[in-house]
């Protein structure tokens, strides 16, 4: 056990992949840790598209946690296969016949897993009672050397060290810094289709269990197969930050949204109308944000953050969850290393590396977002995937 963390209680606020990974790695070293999660219990529905994990980040963290074999039993073979189409849904690129289904250890292999499955693997790896469910963080104040946390249900908890893993709208981040994310210029409209084989057969056949990206007229549609026969899709376009409120659209009204799509995506084939006919409502508008690339703050002796709380970025490099899990890995190693004289020094080293690494990826994500929404997006993406 590491003298600095002996008899110390660590609170991780937020039970996403980053927070869960950190908790597992700390427990493996004998550290006392609790996760405070706002979900009512482990059965709360986990939304969002599948996650693709990368060799040097997400998979490295799972390997360190001894969970790679569990991952291999639960990932979605073939879900990383890709087609690229134009606005008429004509396939111009496909790797369905060339992609290796299981290529673990290869630097470019990015296996996909359903969010719920990844969460389950991580949850099951933790000691019983690690997670305190129904703990919606409201505020905290300094108490002694640590913090007293307050939750919406009226409960409180003391922790010597608090780690914010509570996502892009982190309530804990303001205790560390007042730096805020900026709007990237891109908004995505998220939809989900259940029982897609029956309800959206054309889209289902286009995906063939994998992913598809459609580009045309500076607009995109990105979609992918999820577990349980579901398909998730994102209609992605440049617009003002407050588009969702100013558009006057009712995101539960499919007919109204189809009319909007026919106007906004005027040159796109009727093939895509199936997305609107078969999707669950409401659709979810997601303005895409990014933290400033040069952000910096003073390291604290008892508070830090990881994942989107620390460095929310656009999804156009597929790095969000990978960065969060790598944060968990690197923070666990800093906190339990004998190299540093104090917890504050360990946190400072972690934060410096994390900010530097995240800035590089955020820059790449911003640039990819621009490329994917300019007038040459289709030819740019075809060149990229064909390896030209």
* 332 is a domain residue: yes
Looking at the structure, tell me whether residues 9 and 148 fall in a common domain.
yes
* 107 is a domain residue: no
* Torsion angle defined by CA atoms of residues 330, 332, 334 and 336, in that order, rounded to the nearest 10 degrees: -150
How would you classify the pairing of strands 161-164 and 9-13? parallel
Looking at the structure, tell me whether residues 192 and 273 fall in a common domain.
yes
Chosen domain end from 290, 319, 350: 290
> Which of 223, 228, 306, 283 is CA-nearest to residue 16?
306
- pLDDT surpassing 60 at residue 1: no
Which residues form the domain of 20?
3-75+115-180+291-367
- pLDDT surpassing 70 at residue 55: yes
What is 64-87 written as a DSSP string?
HTT-HHHHHHHS-TTTT-EEEEET
The reply to whether 286 sits in an annotated binding site is: no
Looking at the structure, tell me whether residues 269 and 295 fall in a common domain.
no
DSSP 135: -
> Which of 37, 36, 29 is CA-nearest to residue 6?
29
Instruction: Looking at 113-253, list the stretches that DSSP marks H as alpha helix, in order from N- to C-terminal side.
Output: 115-124, 196-199, 201-207, 243-246
The reply to whether 357 sits in an annotated binding site is: no
Region 198-215: what's the mean pLDDT? 96
For residue 379 the two structure tokens come to 């030819």
Q: How many CA atoms lie within 13 A of 109 on its CB side?
A: 19
Reported as a pLDDT band with limits 50, 70 and 90, residue 101 is confident
Reported as a pLDDT band with limits 50, 70 and 90, residue 99 is confident
Looking at the structure, tell me whether residues 295 and 320 fall in a common domain.
yes
Region 313-324: what's the mean pLDDT? 93
Region 360-385: what's the mean pLDDT? 96
Looking at the structure, tell me whether residues 284 and 344 fall in a common domain.
no
Query: Quick one: pLDDT at residue 326?
Result: 98
* 373 is a domain residue: no
Q: Does residue 237 sit in helix, strand or coil?
A: strand
Looking at the structure, tell me whether residues 329 and 271 fall in a common domain.
no
Looking at the structure, tell me whether residues 136 and 160 fall in a common domain.
yes
* 8 is a domain residue: yes
Chosen domain end from 251, 268, 290: 290
CATH number at residue 188: 3.30.9.30
What pTM was estimated for this model as a whole?
0.94
Looking at the structure, tell me whether residues 43 and 134 fall in a common domain.
yes
* 99 is a domain residue: no
Looking at the structure, tell me whether residues 211 and 272 fall in a common domain.
yes
* 214 is a domain residue: yes
Looking at the structure, tell me whether residues 198 and 270 fall in a common domain.
yes
Q: Taking a C-beta distance cutoff of 8 angstroms, is the pair 119, 18 a contact? A: no
* 94 is a domain residue: no
Q: Taking a C-beta distance cutoff of 8 angstroms, is the pair 328, 64 a contact? A: no
CATH number at residue 297: 3.50.50.60
* 388 is a domain residue: no
Looking at the structure, tell me whether residues 316 and 301 fall in a common domain.
yes
The reply to whether 45 sits in an annotated binding site is: yes
Looking at the structure, tell me whether residues 71 and 166 fall in a common domain.
yes
The reply to whether 115 sits in an annotated binding site is: yes
Query: Quick one: pLDDT at residue 6?
Result: 85
Burial class from Cβ neighbours inside 10 Å (0-12, 13-18, 19+) for residue 319 reads buried
What is 28-61 written as a DSSP string?
HTT-EEEEE--SSSTTS---S--EE--TTTHHHH
Chain-wide mean pLDDT for the chain?
94
Chosen domain end from 257, 290, 323: 290
Q: Please tell me the total count of domains within the chain.
A: 2
């Amino acid at each position: 056990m590491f003298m600095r963390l002996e008899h110390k209680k660590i609170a991780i606020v937020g039970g996403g992949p980053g927070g869960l990974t950190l908790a597992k790695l700390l427990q493996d070293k004998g550290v006392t840790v609790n996760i405070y999660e706002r979900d009512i219990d482990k059965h709360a529905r986990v939304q969002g598209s599948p996650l693709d994990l990368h060799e040097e980040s997400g998979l490295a963290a799972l390997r360190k946690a001894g969970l790679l074999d569990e991952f291999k039993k639960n990932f979605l073979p073939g879900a990383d296969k890709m087609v690229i189409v134009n606005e008429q849904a004509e396939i111009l690129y496909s790797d369905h016949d060339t992609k290796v289904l299981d290529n673990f250890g290869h630097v470019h292999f990015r296996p996909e897993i359903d969010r719920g499955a990844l969460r389950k693997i991580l949850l099951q790896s933790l000691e019983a009672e690690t997670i305190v469910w129904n703990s919606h963080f409201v505020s905290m104040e300094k108490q002694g050397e640590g913090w007293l946390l307050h939750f919406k249900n009226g409960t409180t908890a003391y922790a010597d060290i608090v780690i914010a893993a509570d996502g892009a709208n982190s309530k804990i981040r303001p205790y560390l810094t007042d730096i805020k994310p900026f709007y990237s210029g891109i908004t995505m409209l998220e939809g989900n289709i259940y029982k897609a084989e029956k309800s959206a057969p054309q889209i289902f056949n286009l995906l063939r269990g994998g992913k598809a990206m459609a580009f045309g007229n500076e607009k995109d549609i990105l979609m992918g197969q999820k577990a349980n026969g579901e398909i998730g899709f994102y209609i992605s376009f440049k617009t003002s930050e407050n588009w969702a409120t100013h558009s006057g659209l009712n995101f539960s009204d499919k007919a109204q949204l189809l009319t909007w799509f026919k106007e906004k995506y005027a040159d796109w084939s009727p093939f895509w109308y199936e997305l609107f006919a078969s999707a669950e409502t409401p659709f979810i508008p997601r303005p895409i944000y990014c933290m400033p690339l040069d952000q910096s703050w003073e390291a604290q002796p008892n508070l830090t953050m990881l994942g989107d709380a620390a460095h929310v970025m656009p999804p156009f490099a597929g790095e969000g969850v990978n960065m969060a899990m790598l944060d968990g890995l690197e923070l666990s190693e800093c906190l339990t290393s004998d190299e540093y004289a104090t917890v504050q020094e360990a946190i400072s080293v972690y934060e410096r590396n994390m900010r530097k690494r995240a800035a590089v990826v955020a820059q790449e994500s911003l640039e990819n977002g621009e490329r994917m929404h300019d007038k040459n997006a289709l030819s740019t993406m075809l060149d990229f995937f064909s390896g030209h």
